[in-house]
Structures are given as C-alpha cells and as structure tokens.
C-alpha cells in the first residue's frame, strides 16, 4: 500500500506543470477561465492577415475604462462647494497629483497637461488593482500594454517640447550647448539614445513589477501541490496572502512612479537649458 501511495504521489507530481500553470494565469489569452464554472471564449478577428482579436487583457482595459467613467460620473453628479464622500476622496487624489507631481515638474504648463497625467495614473492604478480580483487579469502585466502606455508618454514628452519651443528648436535642445565640437559625435548619439531609453524604462519597470508579484503568489500556491503536504498549505497560503496585500501597495506605487517619471521627463523637455 505504501508503495502504491508513493507511486500515486509521483504521478501527481509529474502531472503538475508549475511553469505552465503560472504562464497560463499571467499571459494573455482568447478566453476567460472561471475554473469549475467553465470558460468564456472571446471573438478572434483577422483583417487582411492582421490580428484584431479581443483578448482577455483588452476586455480588462475596457472594464477599467468603464469603471473610471462611472466612478467619476457618480462623484461629479452632484456638484457641491465642499465635496463629500467619494468626490472628496477623488479630489484629494487629484490635488495630490497636481501639486506633488505635475506642478513641481511642469510649472506654469501643469494645468495644460494635468488631464493626461490624471488619466494615466487612474488607468494604470485601475488595471493594477483589478488584477488582484479572482478570475480577472492584470493588463499592465502585458508588455504590449505597458509599451503602448510608454509610447503615448514618449509622444506627449516630445509634444510638450515642440509646443513650448517650436519644432526645430525642440530637436536642437537635444544637442548639448557649449561643448567642444569634437565631443558632439559622442554626446549626440547618447542624447538620442536617452530619448528612447526613458520610455523603454517606463515600459519595462511597470511590466516587470506587475508580473513579478503574480509569479510569486502563484509559485507559493503551487508549492502545496508540489509537496502534497497538509503542513505546507498554511505556510504557502499565509505567504501568498501577505504578498497579495503587498501587491495593493505595489499597484499604487507603480501608478505613482509611472506618472511621476513621465512628468519629470516632460519637465526636462519643456524646461530644457539652452
């Protein structure tokens, strides 16, 4: 009997693909998996050989966008001189972003670009947090999504400089002034590389941080099935719960950092030194 039990345990362990299980939960897909309740398949669309399919992460971004529209519409439905409840909370967040992030970096231009930074912050925060809900997904754990956000940030940074200085002066600002001409062949490529490295850093940082937390949580839970021991379950679940709580803080921090760094990069462009 002991030998049979040991053989059964080996087969169960061999049947568990930890890597595949983790990837299944963090990668994008064409369906929502609700476990015992079944799957909901999403439409796959091909137009002239280009994939326009609606995926799980696309749906989650739509859900977050709709939630933000409903949230702010409900908060602003009754305008008061002194806001209360939800409106008061949202105003607190908006004022914080305006006074602590945008204004210190953009100065007099802050009001013009504030809607973009508010949209960026709340959209990233919403996608970060909704991924903690069971059977949902974290769109910001998809590098295509973070690359899209970084690309928008890149164009906004360049737009800010072009609008402030004009098209040609903006690009001339990337050429360091007052340096010996023989250093320019080195500095100009460095400045051009820096222009692209900044949004790439935004993209990778957000993607890596949001993916790492989910990988750790899933890895801890998979330990229960790997060791197949009742004594491991409380430890795995306890640590997974702790990391899950930590992910709430990480979701806030990453939305804050992405918004802060974008405002810093735009401020450097707008207030470039000649």
Sign of CA dihedral 63, 68, 69, 70: positive
178: left (phi > 0), else alpha (psi -120 to 50), else beta? left
d(CA 202, CA 198): 6
Q: Please, are residues 11 and 5 in contact by the beta-carbon 8 Å criterion? A: no
Sign of CA dihedral 166, 167, 172, 173: positive
How long is the chain?
274
Residue 244 main-chain phi, psi, to 5 deg: -65, -40
Cβ contacts of 146 within 8 Å, gap of 6 or more: 140, 202, 203, 204, 206, 207
Q: Can you give the pLDDT of all 274 residues of the chain as single tens digits?
A: 333 334 444 444 455 677 777 777 788 888 888 877 788 888 888 888 787 888 999 999 999 999 999 999 888 877 776 666 788 888 899 999 999 999 999 988 889 999 999 999 999 999 999 988 888 889 999 999 999 999 999 999 999 989 888 888 888 888 777 777 788 788 888 888 888 999 999 999 999 999 998 888 888 888 888 888 788 888 888 888 888 888 999 999 999 999 999 999 999 888 765 4
What sign does the dihedral 100-106-111-114 (CA atoms) show? Answer: negative
For residues 250 and 209, the answer to whether their CB atoms sit within 8 Å is yes
> What pLDDT shows up at residue 12?
43
What is the model's pLDDT at position 153? Answer: 95
Residue 92 phi/psi, 5-degree rounding, is: -60, -45
Structure tokens at 98: 């305006």
Beta strand 31-33 with 50-51: parallel, antiparallel or unpaired? unpaired
Instruction: Give the pLDDT confidence score for residue 3 in this predicted structure.
Output: 39
């Amino acid at each position: 009997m002991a030998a049979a039990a040991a053989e059964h345990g080996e087969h169960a362990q061999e049947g568990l693909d930890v890597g595949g299980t983790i990837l299944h939960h963090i990668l994008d897909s064409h369906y929502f998996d609700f476990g015992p309740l079944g799957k909901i398949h999403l439409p796959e669309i091909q137009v002239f050989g280009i994939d326009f399919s609606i995926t799980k992460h696309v749906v989650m971004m739509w859900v977050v966008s709709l939630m933000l529209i409903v949230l702010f519409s409900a908060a602003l439905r009754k305008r008061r001189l002194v806001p209360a409840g939800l409106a008061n909370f949202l105003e607190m967040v908006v004022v914080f972003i305006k006074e602590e992030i945008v204004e210190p970096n953009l100065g007099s231009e802050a009001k013009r670009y504030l809607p973009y930074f508010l949209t960026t912050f709340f959209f990233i925060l919403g996608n970060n947090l909704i991924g903690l809900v069971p059977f949902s997904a974290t769109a910001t754990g998809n590098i295509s999504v973070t690359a899209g956000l970084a690309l928008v940030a890149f164009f906004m940074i360049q737009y800010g400089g072009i609008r402030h200085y004009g098209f040609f002066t903006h690009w001339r600002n990337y050429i360091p002034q007052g340096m010996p001409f023989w250093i320019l062949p080195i500095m100009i490529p460095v400045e051009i590389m820096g222009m692209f490295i900044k949004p790439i850093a935004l993209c990778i940082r957000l993607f890596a941080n949001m993916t790492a937390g989910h990988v750790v949580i899933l890895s801890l839970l998979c330990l229960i099935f790997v060791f197949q021991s009742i004594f491991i379950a409380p430890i795995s679940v306890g640590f997974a719960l702790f990391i899950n709580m930590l992910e709430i803080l990480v979701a806030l921090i990453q939305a804050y950092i992405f918004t802060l760094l974008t405002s810093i990069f735009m401020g450097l462009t707008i207030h470039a030194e000649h």
